[in-house]
Chain A
Amino acid sequence: MSSLQSYLILSSLLFSIGLAGALTRRNAILVLIGIELMLNAANLNFIAFWRYGPNPEALTGIMFTIFSISIAAAEAAVGLSIILAAYRHSRTTNLDQMNSLKG
């Protein structure tokens, strides 16, 4: 198993952990953190491929990662503000109780 593959497995492990957390935690903020973790894992994937990939001079991997980080940050901010607004409305952050969209 090459280094690339090991890095990839690591990133997929991180991804699954983040996914598990997003699927199972009740607290909305922790779900968001899980999503952040998944994004991190994806970034790690990018860098690994940049390092061991075919064309590292183009710096594509790094660029993409930089943008991804900034976007993740923006999205975290917006998401948390939404959670705050929802908290003010329903006095809870329990995801199970935010089911007014049910069919």
Chain B
Amino acid sequence: MSKVLLLCSGLKHTQEFVNPFLKRLEVYLSSHCDCVDVRNIVTFDERTFFEYDQVVFVFSTSMDSIPSSTLEIFQKLENQNKNNAEIYALIACDEFETEKCDLSARILEQWCIKENLKFKGSLKIGSMFFIMKTISSFVVANHIKAFAQKIIKHQDVHMRMTLLNERTFMKHANKYWNKEIRKKQKERKKL
């Protein structure tokens, strides 16, 4: 039984986009771990990092790479005791291709190498804005469950999940933005 930290390290308002994934991961891990602690960039205290056996960074990519808020966490941890924690990552991106998350994973891995931590892999999720509003949400849930099981068993993991195909993505994606923009225009008119 180990102590796990789910660290939501994305930019302040991107946390709402990764929350559906984070909640599911928390539920799956809670049933098997002694302690699952969920923190974000505001509530995270770098002095307690050494207390955890496993740390899962949860964030969405920002301008195609790791968000500055995660880099700030790296900076805060530079002179802290890290106790050889195992590092996992759940990385989400808004594009169709989960390969857009690869750079963030590689940067995280570089940090682990420099800090002598064990990078155990990641789950990469594409089409994050609307994947949970489609039929693929069930598949995502299964992937998150499998990811949680790998964490519990301390195994390496390299998983990725996105929408079925690019055509479905383009249809949902541009519909999503049309809706968001129209909603904003209505709000502005009311004001």
Is B truly associated with A?
A: no
User: B interface vs A, CB < 8 Å?
Assistant: none
User: A interface vs B, CB < 8 Å?
Assistant: none
